[in-house]
Structure 1
Amino acid sequence: MSPRTSLLVLLGATLAAGCGAEPSTSGPRLGLEVTINRAIADELGAFQVVVLPEGKSRRCGDIQRSCLAQQVKPDEALLLEGADGKKARALRFNAGLNSNGAQEVAVDIPVGRDYVVVIEALSRANPPRFLGSSCNYLESVSGTRNEPLIAAPITLVGGECDPTFAP
């Protein structure tokens, strides 16, 4: 069995009050749904996904105050692989929400325990601007079957920090 498993990330933007679509669950994939606020819908250009080990030792409230790249050393983040084969410690996905406000992306992450999944909302500007983030504790990732993780809403903070995560 492979030491890595797929994390299927369902990025759902519930742009008004209410619930998004149910994340899918099948095989070793983990569904994840993220909620954003209507205020940033027009500015939203991409999502950046980062997975950190030692989740229980991290405080999500602190993580969400500014760009993650300014808070952790690049080698602290797990090496991820996107569906296109690209490997990086932070994977970016262009925002392409469907009519239901959802977006699916596949990410391979190592099988393991005690993670924090951070999803940052980035602006369309060049260079991108940090809009806010969602921080989620993930107890474990299995090589077989993973239950969906409903992500915390993206906390809007905005900021002039550089969200670029070193390779």
Structure 2
Amino acid sequence: MSPRTSLLVLLGATLASGCGAEPSSSGVPLALDVMIDRAVADELGAFQVVVLPNGQSRRCGDLQRTCLNQQVRPEDALVLEGPDGKKARGVRFTAGLDRGAQELAVDIPVGRDYVVIIEALSRSSPPRFLGSSCNYLESVSSTRNAALIAAPITLVGSECDPTFAP
């Protein structure tokens, strides 16, 4: 059995205001409802997923203020594997919220007490940090893991380049 397991991260963000969307009244749980401000939608180019160990010792409010790579050493982030098989400390996904939701699948090492940061990146080159979602993850097992429904992305906008070193 592989020491890594796939964790499905469902991006649940109200990008327009940084607040969660109202729950659906259909009676069937939905992963998320997404609303995007037109100005933000035009800027949004990708999402970057970064996972840090010792999650409970970290303060999400602090981690969401600016680019994560300006706050932690690159070697502190776990090496993840994206759906394309590439390994990196920051796995990127092209934004595709046209269906109202976006599923991000990332292989995260088996372990406990993580914090998962999902950064929204601009289309520009180099990309610019638009905001992030911070999510505590109690554990990842080598068997079956429940999907993580991401907290709303808090928009802050910053001129920093969020590129995480491989």
- Runs of 5+ consecutive residues of structure 2 not aligned to the other structure: none
Matched ranges for 1:3-152 at <5 A: 3-14=3-14, 17-19=21-23, 22-23=30-31, 37-38=36-37, 39-99=39-99, 101-152=100-151
TM-score relative to the length of structure 2: 0.86
| SS in structure 1 at match of 2:97 | coil
Q: What is the Cα deviation at residue 93 of structure 1?
A: 0.5
Structural RMSD (CA) = 2.1
2-structure distance, mates of 1:139, 1:86: 25
| SS in structure 2 at match of 1:125 | coil
2-structure distance, mates of 1:152, 1:95: 17
Q: Share of identical aligned residues, percent?
A: 77
- Runs of 5+ consecutive residues of structure 1 not aligned to the other structure: 24-32
What is the CA deviation profile of residues 63-85 of structure 1, one whole-angstrom value per residue up to 9, with x for unaligned ones? 00000010000100000001111
TM-score relative to the length of structure 1: 0.85
Give the ranges of 4+ consecutive aligned residues of structure 1 lying more than 6 Å apart after TM superposition. Answer: none
Q: What is the Cα deviation at residue 6 of structure 1?
A: 0.2
What is the CA deviation profile of residues 70-121 of structure 1, one whole-angstrom value per residue up to 9, with x for unaligned ones? 000010000000111110000010001232x111222111011000000000
Cα 1:37–1:156 shift into 2, 3 Å: farther
Q: 2:117 corresponds to which letter in structure 1? A: V
2-structure distance, mates of 1:141, 1:60: 19
Q: 1:18 corresponds to which letter in structure 2? A: E
Cα 1:58–1:22 shift into 2, 3 Å: same
